[in-house]
Amino acid sequence: MSISSSELQALVGQLIDPNTGKSFASARALKTATVADGQATISIELAYPARSQHAAIAAQIEAAVLAAGVAKASVSVVSKIVPHTVQANVKLLPGVRNIIAVASGKGGVGKSTTSANLALALAQEGARVGLLDADIYGPSQPEMLGLAGQSPQSPDNKTMTPLVAHGIQVNSIGFLIDPEQPMVWRGPMATQALRQLLNETAWDDLDYLVIDMPPGTGDIQLTLAQSVPVTGAVIVTTPQDIALLDARKGLKMFEKVGIPILGIVENMSIHICSNCGHAEHIFGQGGGAQMCGDYGVPFLGSLPLDIKIREQADSGTPTVVAAPDSAVAQSYRSIARQVAIAIAEKQRDLRHKFPSIVVQNT
What is the per-residue DSSP string for 336-358? HHHHHHHHHTSPB--GGGSPP--
| Coil, strand or helix at 114 | helix
- How many domains does the structure of the chain reveal? 2
pLDDT in tens, 230-253: 999 999 998 887 788 888 888 888
Q: Are residue 36 and residue 157 in the same domain, yes or no? A: no
Whether residues 10 and 38 fall in one domain: yes
d(CA 79, CA 51): 8
CATH number, domain containing residue 272: 3.40.50.300
- Cα 280 to Cα 13, 22, 269: the distances in Å are 45, 36, 9
Q: Is 87 within the bounds of a domain?
A: no
Query: Could you tell me the pTM of the whole model?
Result: 0.91
One domain, residues 19 and 68: yes
Residues 266 and 320 in one domain: yes
- Residues contributing to the annotated binding site for ATP: 105-112
Does residue 218 share a domain with residue 189?
A: yes
pLDDT number for residue 104: 87
Q: Does residue 30 belong to any structural domain of this protein?
A: yes
> CA distances (Å), 90 to each of 86, 148, 226, in order?
7, 33, 8
Asked, for residue 204, whether it belongs to a domain, the answer is: yes
Calculate helix-pair angle for 287-295, 241-256, nearest 10 degrees.
Answer: 30
Do residues 129 and 235 share a domain? yes
Residue 352 has pLDDT above 70, yes or no: no
Nearest-Å Rg of the Cα atoms of the chain is 22
Range of the domain at 35: 5-79
In a domain, 113, yes or no: yes
Question: Does residue 63 belong to any structural domain of this protein?
Answer: yes
Kindly tell me if the per-residue pLDDT of 164 is higher than 90.
yes
Specify binding-site residues.
Answer: 105-112
Could you give phi then psi for residue 258, rounded to 5 degrees? 80, 25
Same domain, yes or no: 169 and 309: yes
Q: Is 350 part of a structural domain of the chain?
A: no
**Shared domain check, 60 and 125:** no
Tens digits of per-residue pLDDT, 7-30? 999 999 999 999 999 999 999 999
Task: Using the Cα atoms of residue 258, residue 259, residue 261 and residue 266 in order, give the sign of their dihedral.
Answer: negative
Across the chain, mean pLDDT equals: 88
Residue 163 to residues 108, 115, 132, 204, Cα–Cα distance (Å): 26, 17, 11, 11
> 343 or 91: whose pLDDT is higher?
343
Same domain, 222 and 271: yes
